[in-house]
Structure formats: structure tokens, C-alpha cells
Amino acid sequence: MLGEITNSKYKKIALILGIMLIVLYVAENSFLFNRIGNTIFTYGIKPGYFIILALLIGYKLPKIHLMSKANYKSTVYAWAFNCGVIYISINILGGILQGFGKSPYSHTLIGILTNSFAVGTALIGRESIRVYLVSSFMRRKSKLALVSIVLLMTLTNIRLLRFTGITDIKTFTIFFSETIIPELCNNILATYFVVYGGKWASVIYLGIIEAAMWLSPILPAMNWLGKGVIGMMIPIFCLLYIMNAYMKMSKEVKTYKEKQELLWQWVPEAVGSILLIWFTAGVFSIYPSVIATGSMKPMIEPGDVILIEKVKDMKDIEALGVDDVIQFKRDNILITHRIIEVLREEGVPSYRTKGDNNSAIDGRIVRAEEVKGVLTQVIPKIGWPTLIFKSGNPNVIDDVEF
């Protein structure tokens, strides 16, 4: 057991290592990267930096006391290998369902060797830092330490340039799903592999994934939703399995039961939260919308949430008729009114609309390209918190025309 002074010393060293990782990340995403050049930095400076860090940790810095039990390491290595193979296998299955694309990476002998060197040194260097952080800060199984380590390892592995394409909720959802979720979940699992088996357990798991991505001539060309689902579910279920198996193997029955209960509470919440983000962002064919006015009373009251089925193509547009309640966009405002007449100009439909509670017909014709979707369901009152948050006065009805 580490003493207080020794433990403090380890934490200071771990903090310095974390800062060194951040310094490299900043350099890689700054003008220095462009000034020096991509090739020199990627295949020279960055690998050299990680080699130095790994050598310092392995031979010069005080030896860390691993949390894992030595007699369980071979079993944990086998779990790490199996989880990596499962992750790749499910991705291949996704490719079979959605197609494959040509890998952008070089597969000449020189390309394979240089890429393996760059990726391998970064992987070993990063996992050497991770194991030092875990052993220094997670000895008392601090949740804050776990979250901090996972976030540090996740964010420093995503190029800053990739964040610049986020311009709205849709691009954020896509980026969050295909990049943040897989990286975050894999880092959670990798951190637990370090806890249970040390550095080489996480190197085995992440190394299999990296090797498949860099060495395969073809890669699954899944859409962002498929990448997000696989990137979230596989590491989570692998984590549940290894936590379950490790606790049983080490006979930590009480701790096992407590953690199992916490995990089964946490997983549905995490999955539900991500699905809610996808749902709200319009990932699925049906999306929710909160009604703020009384123009469609009594069918729809202020504070009700309506479910709108997206109009995807002209076939859906042609299927709309009188009495359908549609949602359309006008001047950046979503309006939900009923179709009272279908008009045609050169064969293209347009719609005259009216709110059920309005005495006047809407002043402008709704063009086909303005239609977002058709009403499918009304859920009473659950949107009131949103109205209160937006305006502080959910009783304001400002779009009713009499």
C-alpha cells in the first residue's frame, strides 16, 4: 500500500504525464504542425515523443503499483483479445449489410511499416500514460478520476480540426455519433482493462482495432448511425461481461453485486440519453416538436408535444391531402396547420392551410419544399417545461389569427 508521501509523488508525476500528453495534442493541432509538415510530425516527432515517454515511464520514473492481480492477467489478456475481435467482427457484419469502401491508407510494404511504427508507438505511449494515471488516481476507485482519465484520453485522440465542421444540431449529432461515442466507449473499456490487467490488456484491445483499420485494404462503409450504435454497444456489453467475470473470479461478491446493480442502472440511462439526442435531432423518420401556440386547439394545446413523420420525397408529398395536419417551415419558424385545399402549378402540389382555432386562412400558400412532415401523434402537456425554459410564460399564444 502506498504511503501518503509516496502517493502524492505518484500523483504529481501522473499529472505531469497528462500535461505532456496535452502539450503534444496542442502542438499537433497548432500552426507548428503545418509549419513542420504532416509527414515529419506524424512519422518522426510524434513517435519519438511517445517513445521517450514510454522509456521514461518504464525505466526512469518510480515504478507504479498496478491495481490488477498478477495471477489474473492472462485471463484479462484473453478477454481483451476477444473483445477486440468481437468489435471488428461486428463492424465487418455492418459492412456486409451496408457495404465496404477502399481504405485510404497505404498498403505498400513501406506504408504498412511506417504506419505500424507511427500507430504502434502512439498506442504504447498513450497506454503507458493511462496506466500511470489509473494507478495514481484510481486506487480508491474514484469516479471523478475515472471520468477525468477517460475524457483526457478521448479528447486527445480526436484532431481538433474535426470539431470545426460542427455547424448545427445535425452535424453535431453525426459527429457525436460516429466519432465521440466510439472513442469515448472504447476509452472507458480500455481504462477498465488497465485496472484489471495493466497496460498490455488495453494495448491488446485497442491494437486489434487499430490494426484492422490501418492494415485492411477495405473498410466497412457504414452510415454514421451504424457506427454510433456499434461503437457504443460493443464496448458497453464487453465491459459488463468483464466486470461480471472479474468480480466472480476474484470472489468480490459484495462489490460485484453492488457494481452490477449500478451498471444495469447506468447502461439504460446512457443508451436512453443517446437515443433521445438522436430522436430530438431528427435522426429517425419521426421527430418530436413542442407546440407553443393555440392555433390548432382543441386538437393540439400549447405545451403539447406532437410527433411528426418526415416527408422524404415527392412520393410522400403527393400522398398529402385535405384534412392532413402538416408541419412546414416559414421564415425559420415551424408551423403546424391543417391542409384545407390542394393546389397544383405545373404538376407540382402546393397547399392552402389553416389552424383549426384560427378564423382566417393562412395568408401564404405552402410550397412542397416547405413541408417538413405530417402529424402522427399528439402527446398532451409534456412540452410545458420546454416552453417555460424558452419564454418563461407558456400561456402566451401569439400566432392565433382571428
Mean pLDDT score of the chain: 82
Q: Do 100 and 212 fall into the same domain?
A: yes
Name which of 12-16, 194-198, 331-335, 336-340 the model is least confident about: 331-335
Q: What residues contact residue 179 under an 8 Å CB cut-off, 6+ apart?
A: 158, 162
Centroid of chain to Cα 206: 17
Q: Do 111 and 57 fall into the same domain?
A: yes
Q: Do 195 and 342 fall into the same domain?
A: no
Residue that finishes a domain, picked among 230, 257, 280: 280
Q: Do 150 and 21 fall into the same domain?
A: yes
> Does residue 322 lie in a domain region?
yes
> Does residue 70 lie in a domain region?
yes
Q: Do 131 and 159 fall into the same domain?
A: yes
Task: Determine the structural domain holding residue 331 and report its residue range.
Answer: 286-391
| C-alpha to C-alpha distance for 366 and 347, rounded to whole angstroms | 15
> Does residue 177 lie in a domain region?
yes
Q: Do 323 and 274 fall into the same domain?
A: no
pLDDT digits (tens, 9 = 90+) for 151-169: 999 999 998 888 887 877 7
pLDDT digits (tens, 9 = 90+) for 287-312: 778 888 889 999 998 888 888 888 88
What are the cell numbers at 289? 416538436
Q: Do 270 and 349 fall into the same domain?
A: no
371-379 and 366-367: which strand pairing? unpaired
Residue that finishes a domain, picked among 223, 250, 280: 280
What are the cell numbers at 27? 502542438
Q: What residues contact residue 70 under an 8 Å CB cut-off, 6+ apart?
A: none
Name which of 87-101, 244-258, 294-308 the model is least confident about: 244-258
- pLDDT at residue number 81: 95
> Does residue 401 lie in a domain region?
no
Q: Are 326 and 336 in contact (CB under 8 A)?
A: yes
Q: What residues contact residue 177 under an 8 Å CB cut-off, 6+ apart?
A: 224, 225, 227, 228, 231, 274, 278, 283
Q: Do 290 and 235 fall into the same domain?
A: no
| C-alpha to C-alpha distance for 398 and 394, rounded to whole angstroms | 11
Count the domains in the chain. 2
- Give the rounded percent of residues in the chain with a pLDDT score beyond 90: 38
Q: Do 219 and 310 fall into the same domain?
A: no
Which residue pairs from 85-90 have beta carbons closer than 8 angstroms and sit at least 24 positions apart in sequence?
A: 85/208, 86/234, 86/238, 87/208, 87/209, 87/230, 87/234, 87/235, 87/238, 88/208, 88/209, 88/212, 90/230, 90/234
Reported as half-sphere exposure (CB side, CA atoms, 13 A), residue 334 has a value of 15
Q: Do 225 and 352 fall into the same domain?
A: no
Name which of 120-124, 265-269, 294-298 the model is least confident about: 265-269
Residue 239 one-letter amino acid: L
| pLDDT of residue 263 exceeding 60 | no
> Does residue 400 lie in a domain region?
no
Closest CA to 125 of 195, 55, 217: 55
Average pLDDT estimate for 271-295? 68
pLDDT digits (tens, 9 = 90+) for 209-245: 999 999 999 999 888 878 888 898 899 889 988 888 8
Strands (E), 125-278: 218-220
Residue written as cell 400522398? 319
Q: Do 269 and 292 fall into the same domain?
A: no
pTM of the entire predicted model? 0.68
Residue written as cell 393540439? 300
DSSP state of 382: T
Phi-psi region of 332 (alpha: psi -120 to 50; beta: other; left: phi over 0): left
pLDDT category of residue 401 using cuts at 50, 70 and 90? very low
Asked if residue 298 has a cis previous peptide bond (ω within 30° of 0), the answer is: yes
